[in-house]
Chains A and B, each alone.
Chain A
């Protein structure tokens, strides 16, 4: 008897949960626009109504500029308070996807990368921003060097770039001076880069100094070909352009001009320490490293454009973007837009630039801040604005619904190539086959 009751309970629970699954997902699309509409009505008439927006981001508590920037915003908009919801940095992409899939009512959502943004747009978890952008006289897309368009999907805009980055070669000037080797220059070929690394490599054992340093991300190779637009993650017919870049990096690894990929990966070694401790003369990294060097370097450093085989100098920039978006379940989208306009606008950009972080917003004032860094930091180079004020900006990873999958595949094959278990040809062939097989 009791067994029967139990099985009846379990069976009905099964039915309920299946129905609940259908019902909740079926009702969601209808609920989202209604939510948006109702809050717009509420927010529009009373501008001085007190609202609190929920802001989702990572690294809030250990990054100084966020609080300063957000407080400045609240002072300028006394009716809008903010509540920060912080998630761990490493797990942020997965966490934010899961949170929004659970219809969390975040108003402002910071995103770490574009594959995550593509997935969220595909899931309908982000609010379209054209309605805000087009009707707002204070907002000018021209300040974002074409990035608003690159952050779009299906002809609609979903995000404003908070930060952007250019990837460059950072080098230790003191080491080049000591070795009597000329500094690396814009427009180097991969062979030039190889030769420089050879000249700058010295010592052995614990005193070994590497000519260059390559971190363990797949983008640490693909970024060279991506900047010249020889390579596009969404088009497998361009993948073979990666082979010569892999060959150069593997040759450098075999010759001991860069540290071994496997050792870096097993040792969990961060690229910054390698430069701070004078263990490498050159490093390919994004502009965020300016901020890290300003705070930590005890040597004179310089930057130059990425080497490549396509004859491109400093006229192109390549890097990732940190977009800010509005969640589809936001309760105060109008206030969220005000917030985004502020942190992604001139005021927010100045706070970022002052710390050596490259804001998404570009202007002469921002360039000036970067050019003034050497006034307060004796080790920083002159003329940094030359590398941040570039109109032709290529996003590191183009937007696509499949971006997450492609990113995983490229990463896996990258590790196979760099550990020497696959030749560059085999690895690239696997990339092509696997990306083509994606549903």
Chain B
């Protein structure tokens, strides 16, 4: 009798557990299927393709081993240029966006008049279509007729930079556009972070006689480290894989001055029809991003104060 009761209880428990599992799966499944079909399978296929030669033709996939990687590292001049440009773009864009976004967030966190208006204005470039924003930016920085150079010339600069039409200034012009476009979003992220800084810490600091900088250095900045790590990670990944901005503004030019890795991948795949080689470059980009992300996770554990 007692055994029977125990059995029933057990089977009830099992059924309940199964039911819970099923419910959980049914919640995850729609997303998981999408991820599986549209992200995971293509990634695996591209890993396989990176060892092959394939022109999307009917000749089939030819296995070539590490030949794509050998060509990439020893012969492909454009790959080296693109890698260098990508690093340049990332190394300048990420800290610049981060600090400007943080500065703006702190400014917008103060009780100033028309705060909401300014917040909207700063957020606007992020909401606006990239194409529209890029066209406006390029018009502002037009080397001959642009208002920016007009202003510089009226200020007495005789030979203002030729911006996107110069190999030296093309990348800074695009970095400027990226920062302007993205800073609003990260400002909002930082604003949210700032709300979570306990005000009693500031009060305590004030009682201790801390000035503005000391308060920032010892209260704001440490409390914001989780936010900063989130922003840093998002920015690094976004800048490493960005190519749309270059595609719209300079098409990688002048020469190859703004050709980044993702752009080189696009060109190799859809212009040159070398899908195997493009996948190989994509794998290199993938490994770089993974390593950086892992490194950042490690650093996060070390430096955040939670």
Contacts and interface: CB of A to CB of B under 8 A. Distances in A.
Q: Specify whether A and B are partners.
A: yes
Interface of A: 10, 13-14, 17-18, 21-22, 25-26, 28-29, 32, 94, 97-98, 101, 119, 122-125, 259-263, 265-268, 328, 404-405, 407-408, 411-413, 415-416, 418-419, 421-422, 430, 434, 437, 439
A98 B57 contact: no
B256 interface: yes
Interface stretch (B83-91, B108-116, B140-148, B216-224): B140-148
Contacts of A21: 45, 48-49, 61
7 contacts: A17-B44, A260-B144, A263-B143, A268-B138, A404-B271, A419-B253, A437-B75
Contacts of A123: 55-59, 273
Contact of B59 (A124, A328, A413): A124
A40 to B, nearest CB: 19
B272 to A, nearest CB: 5
Interface in B248-306: 250-257, 259, 267, 270-273
B250 to A, nearest CB: 8
Contacts of A437: 75, 77
Interface centre among B56, B71, B270 (most CB of A within 10 A): B56
Given A13-B44, A416-B253, A416-B255, A125 B272 contact: no
B165 A265 contact: yes
B167 A416 contact: yes
Secondary structure class of chain A's binding surface, majority of residues: helix
A434 B78 CA distance: 9
B60 A267 contact: no
B242 interface: no
A33 to B, nearest CB: 10
Interface of B: 36, 40-41, 44-45, 48-49, 54-61, 71, 75, 77-78, 135, 138-139, 141-146, 162-168, 250-257, 259, 267, 270-273
Given A22-B61, A263-B145, A265-B165, A415 B272 contact: no
Given A266-B138, A405-B272, A413-B255, A434 B60 contact: no
Contacts of B139: 266-267
Contacts, number: 141
B271 A421 contact: no
Q: Which 5 A-B pairs have the closest CB atoms?
A: A262-B165, A123-B57, A416-B255, A124-B58, A101-B56
A18 B44 contact: yes
A419 B254 contact: yes
A415 B159 CA distance: 20
B273 A439 contact: no
B124 to A, nearest CB: 22
B57 A125 contact: yes
Nearest to B61: A25
A412 B255 contact: yes
A97 B272 CA distance: 11
A312 B167 CA distance: 36
B143 A262 contact: yes
Contact of B270 (A94, A418, A421): A94
A22 B51 CA distance: 13
Contacts of B250: 265
Nearest to B146: A266
Contacts of B163: 262, 266
A263 B254 CA distance: 12
Contact of B40 (A13, A94, A259, A265): A13
A34 B273 CA distance: 26
Contacts of A411: 251, 253
A265 B165 CA distance: 8
Contacts of A17: 41, 44-45, 48
A265 B57 CA distance: 34
A231 B259 CA distance: 27
